[in-house]
Structure 1
Amino acid sequence: MPSVLLYVAIAALVLYRVVYQQVRGTLLSRRRLTVLPLVLTVVGAYLTLKALPGAPAGELGLLAADLLVLAGLGVLRSTTTTLTERDGTTFQKGSAVTIGLWVLTVAVRIGLLALGTALGVAGPLTSASVALSLGVTIAVQNATTYRRIQRRGLPLAAGRRTAVSR
């Protein structure tokens, strides 16, 4: 039961901090681009490593495919956001395509779980790696966004910034 609560909490955090704020619009900072994906990846790596012993090769392959596909979707999601300068930092706003790619991200994760179940290889590792998968896809999206910010010469604040509704 505690793992279900953890997954619900992670999903709620990601929905608000990432999806909702991207679509609404967010003033970016280095902190905003790094903290959430770092926390998710570290927690996810810990849970994944705990579930790793005894995981069959098929489940390891499923995890590798999951991470690769979700990383690619992170790159795509970044390219669907607009970046402009506002209030001394970069303002990021997502689009309908960004929402669609988030839906696809969730669908891919669920689809890989269903595939693993159908093949008889989904086990504790598949469940334990949810936070890792989310952390990786958000980290890749944010790294791509950071690269876009640098290429365009946009400013990026060092401290905490809040979402805006403009």
Structure 2
Amino acid sequence: MSGLVNALVIVAVAGIVIARQFRASRIDTNRRWWLLPGILAVIAMREPHLLDARHHTTAALVLGAELIVGLAMGAAWAWTTRIWVERDGSVWSKSTKASAAVWAAGIGVRLGLFAVGTLLGIHQDSSALLLALAATLLVRSGVLIWRAQSLNQAPVHAAAYGDHVPRSTWKEHV
């Protein structure tokens, strides 16, 4: 794929994911949460210019830093996401203002890494960014699923005194 197509995929996926995460959404622990990050990683790894051939070691270091930032960003995003259990036992999540700050910081650090790579003369392709986005989504989804499963194991509604006592439906008039 060309760099322009990769850039459009990155913008589209990031936009959709970010917009969806700031609305309350149900966490389904049985779905294939690793599928989208896996597809993005495969797309990124198919690019022949993932590493600059002239600056192989330096490009690998910058790519490694990009992946570390992506992993850290995914973990921070997952831990700043609010999760809760509804009465029916379903687990829900919604990103917070802290999650938005994590995104802003992650984008800032990535821009800094791009600037460092440019100063070092490394040809940088959008596939590195796509791979880091895949790492971010993979870690975030994995941590959220783990958190949801730990919440789901607790009893949602324990029996309380008076639960099954019939209540009158009429109102008193004074």
TM-score norm. by structure 2 comes to 0.76
Larger-gyration structure (1/2): 2
Asked which structure has the greater RCO (Cα within 8 Å, sep 6+), the reply is 1
Closer, same or farther: CA 103–53 of 1 in aligned 2, 3 Å? closer
Match of 1:151 in 2: 150
Give me the whole-angstrom Cα distance separating, in 2, the residues matched to 1:34 and 1:90: 18
Match of 1:8 in 2: 8
Match of 1:57 in 2: 57
TM-score norm. by structure 1 comes to 0.79
CA contact 1:74–1:137 (8 Å) conserved in 2: yes
Match of 2:105 in 1: 104
Alignment RMSD: 2.4
Quote the offset at 1:43 in angstroms.
Answer: 1.2
Match of 2:123 in 1: 123
Runs of 4 or more, structure 1, over 6 Å off, are: none
Q: Name stretches of at least 5 consecutive residues in structure 2 with no aligned partner.
A: 155-174
CA contact 1:26–1:91 (8 Å) conserved in 2: yes
CA contact 1:41–1:132 (8 Å) conserved in 2: yes
Quote the offset at 1:153 in angstroms.
Answer: 2.2
Match of 1:81 in 2: 81
Query: For 1:85-96, what aligned pairs fall within 5 Å after superposition?
Result: 85-86=85-86, 89-96=90-97
Give me the whole-angstrom Cα distance separating, in 2, the residues matched to 1:112 and 1:154: 41
Give me the whole-angstrom Cα distance separating, in 1, the residues matched to 2:99 and 2:46: 29
Closer, same or farther: CA 89–127 of 1 in aligned 2, 3 Å? same
CA contact 1:22–1:93 (8 Å) conserved in 2: yes
Quote the offset at 1:88 in angstroms.
Answer: 5.4
Q: Any idea what SS the aligned residue of 2:33 has?
A: helix
Closer, same or farther: CA 51–6 of 1 in aligned 2, 3 Å? closer
Q: Name stretches of at least 5 consecutive residues in structure 1 with no aligned partner.
A: 156-166
* Identical columns (%): 26
> Greater share of helix residues, 1 or 2?
1
Give me the whole-angstrom Cα distance separating, in 2, the residues matched to 1:32 and 1:26: 16
Closer, same or farther: CA 141–25 of 1 in aligned 2, 3 Å? same
Match of 2:159 in 1: none
Quote the offset at 1:50 in angstroms.
Answer: 5.0
Give me the whole-angstrom Cα distance separating, in 1, the residues matched to 2:32 and 2:82: 16
Give me the whole-angstrom Cα distance separating, in 1, the residues matched to 2:153 and 2:14: 25
CA contact 2:66–2:113 (8 Å) conserved in 1: yes
CA contact 2:6–2:130 (8 Å) conserved in 1: no
CA contact 1:26–1:92 (8 Å) conserved in 2: yes
What amino acid maps onto 2:38 in structure 1? L
Give me the whole-angstrom Cα distance separating, in 2, the residues matched to 1:132 and 1:112: 14
Indicate whether 1:70 and 2:44 are aligned.
no
What amino acid maps onto 2:152 in structure 1? G
